[in-house]
Structure 1
Amino acid sequence: MKTGYVELARAQQERWQAAYEQHPSLHGAGASAAARWTAKLFGAAGIDDVLELGAGQGRDAFYLARQGFSVHATDFSESALHRLRLDAQREGLDDRVTAALHDVRDPLPPADATVGAVYANVLLNMAFSRTELRTLVNEIRRVLRPGGLFVYTVWSTDDSRFGKCAEIGDGLYAKDGFAGRFFDLDLVHELADRWELGGADPYEENGRRLWRVTQAKPAPLISS
């Protein structure tokens, strides 16, 4: 596997596509702990629309929709989104969950300042260069309305698997054909530049140690 990023991105897309084709419920049916926590935060903030990046087969998108949010789910796997659309229709959620094929290495589809909240569960720790991560976070800030919220979760360097996989360069590790990055607090703070960082909270789920990061797009200053 190469870290020439174009080759790496293509290899990862193929690997995830194959995984979703082989497993109709790859990540399970229940919502993640992150989605349950995030729904409460977004609800308390009066948000009703959510852009989910890296939605996979939709388990968190469906949970958010059941809590009353309108969710636009994106992923770079057509297989995952096919399952998401079928399940949304079967469960009567297709009026609240829309889906679009999109690779977050490309500019995000929404126009400037049109989205209430963005949610990404274990997406940013996938096979992105640090430059790609900074570009993505800048894109997220662009599409959010002033005061809009961004919640993401990532693997922590405190995770027991950190340092035990093959290192492939630029802080990325690979195992069984999947590549990713473990985050320390320095990287969390780097990506929060020009944001209001609400919190970087450690938590555990399914034996993994992760960060749950909350940040807001600053509202413009109003001069008197």
Structure 2
Amino acid sequence: MSKSDDELAEVQRAHWQQTYGDHPGMYGEEPSEPAVRAAAVFGAAGAREVLELGAGHGRDALYFARQGFSVLATDFSPVGLEQLSEAAGAQGVAVRVATAVHDVREPLPLSDASVDAVFAHMLLCMALSTQEIHALVAEVRRVLRPGGVFVYTVRHIGDAHYQAGTGHGDDIWEHGGFAVHFFPRDLVDDLAEGWTLDEVAAFEEGGLPRRLWRVTQTLPPVSTP
């Protein structure tokens, strides 16, 4: 990773730390629409253990726990995860929720084939290079069990903020202090190589609105002779 990438990552880390500190529970208590849909997909697949990447203060991780899943929630913001842990205790689901401070530019802190499902709402479209995104999806593949499901959402190049604000190259644009990697469709297809690409669903979120894709892809099961 180049020095400029390092600097952007640290600026974004500090920005999210301050944002969560200044606005506790900033996204509210209700789960995101993608999390509700993902829980249904995970349940249908027989998943029990869910890894959430970029969990923030935990509205989606807590929803998964309330639905009966065991959840490992990761984020690079200790402030957000502290809020998540407090909320898990208040909601009576602490026994089903674990947290880990983690930067997704580093290998995931899990053994091979150790989780049933992975969820990431707008994590892959943070200030990550295309190379880093590919490396992260390779890590997701490593920690998923055969037949495991990965549901992620990303803002795409049809979004109103694409090419607005400060450009950092590689389709990364910073607006209002938040840097976003806007996805072209071919990047979604590239990330699904070797997977079954089950769905790419367009949806909108927020007041702008943000324009996103919800992507569902499944690892092939173990083949039997």
Runs of 4+ in 1 over 4 A off after TM superposition: none
- The CA distance in 1 between the partners of 2:71 and 2:196, in whole Å, is 23
Q: Does residue 214 of the first structure (1) align with residue 216 of the second (2)?
A: yes
Name the structure 2 match of 1:49. 49
* Secondary structure of residue in 2 paired with 1:5: helix
Name the structure 1 match of 2:95. 95
Map residues 94-113 of structure 1 onto 2, 5 A cutoff.
94-113=94-113
* Counterpart amino acid of residue 217 in structure 1: L
Map residues 40-189 of structure 1 onto 2, 5 A cutoff.
40-189=40-189
Contact kept in structure 2, 1:74 and 1:101, CA below 8 Å: yes
Q: Percent identity?
A: 50
* Secondary structure of residue in 2 paired with 1:21: helix
Contact kept in structure 1, 2:161 and 2:175, CA below 8 Å: no
- The CA distance in 2 between the partners of 1:8 and 1:209, in whole Å, is 23
State the Cα distance separating 1:165 from its structure 2 match: 2.4
- The CA distance in 2 between the partners of 1:3 and 1:62, in whole Å, is 36
Name the structure 2 match of 1:14. 14
Contact kept in structure 1, 2:164 and 2:174, CA below 8 Å: no
- The CA distance in 2 between the partners of 1:48 and 1:125, in whole Å, is 26
- The CA distance in 1 between the partners of 2:59 and 2:109, in whole Å, is 22
Contact kept in structure 2, 1:195 and 1:215, CA below 8 Å: yes
State the Cα distance separating 1:27 from its structure 2 match: 1.5
Q: TM-score, normalised by structure 2?
A: 0.95
More displaced 10-residue stretch of structure 1: 190-199 or 77-86? 190-199
- The CA distance in 1 between the partners of 2:10 and 2:159, in whole Å, is 27
Q: TM-score, normalised by structure 1?
A: 0.95
- The CA distance in 2 between the partners of 1:128 and 1:194, in whole Å, is 22
* Counterpart amino acid of residue 114 in structure 1: S
State the Cα distance separating 1:130 from its structure 2 match: 0.6
* Secondary structure of residue in 2 paired with 1:189: helix
Name the structure 2 match of 1:33. 33
Contact kept in structure 2, 1:3 and 1:169, CA below 8 Å: no
- The CA distance in 2 between the partners of 1:149 and 1:3, in whole Å, is 34
How many equivalent residue pairs?
Answer: 222
Q: Does residue 196 of the first structure (1) align with residue 199 of the second (2)?
A: no
* Counterpart amino acid of residue 220 in structure 1: V
Cα deviation code 1:172-202 (max 9, x no counterpart):
1001222111112111001111211111111
More displaced 10-residue stretch of structure 1: 153-162 or 37-46? 153-162
- The CA distance in 1 between the partners of 2:76 and 2:176, in whole Å, is 19
State the Cα distance separating 1:3 from its structure 2 match: 7.2
Cα deviation code 1:150-173 (max 9, x no counterpart):
000010212222222221112110
State the Cα distance separating 1:219 from its structure 2 match: 2.0
- The CA distance in 1 between the partners of 2:3 and 2:156, in whole Å, is 21
Q: CA RMSD in A?
A: 1.3
- The CA distance in 1 between the partners of 2:222 and 2:48, in whole Å, is 22
Which ranges of structure 2 fall in alignment gaps of 5 or more residues? Answer: none
